[in-house]
Amino acid sequence: MSRRVLAGLLGLAAIVAVTVAPNALAGSAAVYRNPVYDHDFPDPFVLAADGVYWAYATNDGWNVQTLRSPNGFTWVPVTTDALPRMPAWALPGETWAPEVVAIGGRYVMWYATRRRGDGVHCLSRAIAMLPQGPFSDPSTGPALCLPDHGGVIDPSPFVDGRGQAWLTWKSEGRGTARTPATIWGARLSADGLAFTSLPAALVRADQPWEGGVVEAPTLVQDGGRTYLFYSGNRWDTAGYAVGWARCSGPLGPCQKDPRPVFGSGGSVAGPGGQTVFRDSGGGAWLGYHGWSKWAVGYPRGYRSFRIEHLAFAGGRPVVSGPNDTITVAMRG
């Protein structure tokens, strides 16, 4: 689960180093280094808008930190807070897992925070005319809390091929068989701000590798199929990993694969908090945060931003890596 991270790790002057493979001189490929942003950037989400890629992440001194990229592989920080002011009902400095969707000529951000008074995890939403913000949340109360289910985090808006908006999220649960950690889904209104259906439970924590945790849902459609990616196990351990399920639609039913599709390996430990985006050629990519294997957990380590190739074959997702470099074919 996302937690408030240590401020000051964001290097505003840092620019990701890019190296070009020898055969790139012939225009065939380029090689980029992972992590693509080597600073604390937990729960990353990538949005492609008007030929530019934007990445948003859990608070790190600001409410919502943001990166900008011309190609999805080289990233620089935006030097303003995307959500400069929190609503009065929310605790300051407690903003997690922001995700953004373009709807009706504007941008809607869903995010998780804590409610004043009882500290329950809740969801809210904010609006901006530009992808980098500033986003404004004029709400007088949260959009959803579900305290009987332990509160809610990790909202993920999704617009399907017909233009219908949906939201998935995670309820914390209470660690019992009656109220396990659960990922839910619901249909959203045309403006992406309100629920228009009752919540449907999509998956629950029921696999040994998950350690009682399912969170960070991501809906993806490919080849007429609907996939749900999620993260499982404790976020601050090397056991954190990415799982997946095949769903009949955005509200399920969903059938989980019993094994994670992507986990620790090489120099990376505990990959998760994933996002899926497509490049200008339609290629699919998995963005995620990960610890360095020699520094897992705060304050020793930090969760850097990384990406990997993602493919779908025979109704199953295939993720390469974790890799320290990413080879990108150059279209001639």
What is the phi/psi pair of residue 25, to 5°? Answer: -65, -25
pLDDT tens for each residue of 115-173: 999 999 999 999 999 999 999 999 999 999 999 999 999 999 999 999 999 999 999 98
CA distance 193 to 30: 40
Average pLDDT of every residue of the chain: 90
CA distance 193 to 131: 16
User: What are 156's strand-pairing partners?
Assistant: 168
pLDDT at residue 127 in the model: 98
Query: Parallel, antiparallel, or unpaired for β 182-187 and 106-114?
Result: unpaired
Residue 195 makes CB contacts below 8 A (sequence gap 6+) with 143, 144, 167, 186, 187, 188, 189
Tokens of 220: 């993806």
Taking residues 79-95, report their average pLDDT: 95
88: buried, middle or exposed (CB in 10 Å: 19+, 13-18, 0-12)?
A: exposed
DSSP labels, 76-101: EE-SS-SS----TTBPTT--EEEEEE
pLDDT at residue 1 in the model: 47
3-state helix, strand, coil in the chain (%, to 5): 5, 45, 50
pTM listed for this prediction: 0.90
80 within 8 A of 71, measured Cβ to Cβ: no
pLDDT at residue 2 in the model: 40
Report the side by side order of strands in the sheet with 152-159: 152-159, 165-171, 182-187, 200-204
pLDDT at residue 331 in the model: 57
CA distance 292 to 331: 32
pLDDT at residue 13 in the model: 32
Q: Is residue 9 part of a domain?
A: no
Q: Is residue 83 part of a domain?
A: yes
CA distance 54 to 34: 17
DSSP labels, 37-84: B-S---S-EEEEETTEEEEEES-SSSSSEEEEESSSSS-EE-SS-SS-
300: buried, middle or exposed (CB in 10 Å: 19+, 13-18, 0-12)?
A: exposed
> What CATH number does residue 93 fall under?
2.115.10.20
Q: Is residue 3 part of a domain?
A: no
Q: Is residue 168 part of a domain?
A: yes
CA distance 260 to 243: 4
276 within 8 A of 220, measured Cβ to Cβ: yes
Q: Is residue 224 part of a domain?
A: yes
Residue span of the structural domain in which 33 resides = 18-329
% of the chain exceeding 70 in pLDDT: 91
Closest CA to 276 of 46, 62, 42: 46
**Which of the four pLDDT bands, split at 50, 70 and 90, describes residue 10?**
very low
Q: Is residue 179 part of a domain?
A: yes
CA distance 57 to 42: 6
User: What are 106's strand-pairing partners?
Assistant: 103
**Which of the four pLDDT bands, split at 50, 70 and 90, describes residue 330?**
low
CA distance 277 to 136: 25
Closest CA to 185 of 110, 106, 296: 110
CA distance 284 to 269: 22
* Cα distances (Å, whole numbers) of residue 154 to 6, 162, 169, 303: 19, 24, 5, 17
In total, how many domains does the chain have? 1
- Please check the confidence at residue 25 and state whether its pLDDT lies above 60: no
